[in-house]
Amino acid sequence: MIIYGTGSTKVKEEAIFNKCNSCGNINTTTAYVFAKYVDIFWIPIFPIGKYASTQCSHCKQVLQEKEMPPDLKQTVMPFKNISKTPLKAFSGLFVIALLIVGGGIMAAMAGKDTEQYAATPAVGDRYYYKEDDGSFSTMKIMELSSDSIFFFLNGYTIDKKSKTRTIDITKNYDTTEYYGYSKQEINNMLKDKTVFQIKR
């Protein structure tokens, strides 16, 4: 479950010249500007605008923008317009951007490893591949010859590619029989991404 909502943070506070329309005191009014943002799990994700309000320090009357008399509104609006939305209101976007960049770097690194392992196959390497029915499984190199690679097959499949490593455990490999592929066949499987990752 994703818990989302909106929050706000104060971005400006300014004493203004005004006669309170409730208690009649002069110079007791403070204007506030708030930045409003959407949050997910209480982390601000992106800003959705600003709003202003005033409070009289004497009678405590609070006025929202739409309740302000025109002259008060005219005094307050410039403060609203010049106050900047703080970076805090975007912090979720920074986190998301970092995750995307970080994920991209990790995927690129995994791809590099796979390329390197494919070029230098070794006994024990595990090949992660896509089955014809769309599920995913793995096979482990048992033996190499000059033109073929022999594998123990994993007895399990999984329907989520990203979870393939969870079935890559020693006891899942059936070591009572093995299958051989020519290196050319393996190269084709790597090229068309049937084999999508190699672990060592």
Q: Cβ of residue 33: shortest distance to Zn ion, in angstroms?
A: 20
> Binding residue for Zn ion (CB under 5 A) from 12, 19, 36, 58?
58
CA distance 11 to 83: 7
Asked if 59 interacts with Zn ion (CB under 5 A), we say yes
Q: Cβ of residue 19: shortest distance to Zn ion, in angstroms?
A: 9
CA distance 2 to 52: 29
> Binding residue for Zn ion (CB under 5 A) from 20, 72, 118, 149?
20
> Binding residue for Zn ion (CB under 5 A) from 35, 52, 56, 198?
56
DSSP letter (8 states) at residue 192? T
Closest CA to 58 of 15, 24, 33: 24
Stretch that binds Zn ion, among 43-51, 57-65, 101-109, 169-177 (CB under 5 A): 57-65
Asked if 116 interacts with Zn ion (CB under 5 A), we say no
The full 3-state SS of 34-62, as one line of letters, equals EEEEEEECCEEEEEEEEEEEEEECCCCCE
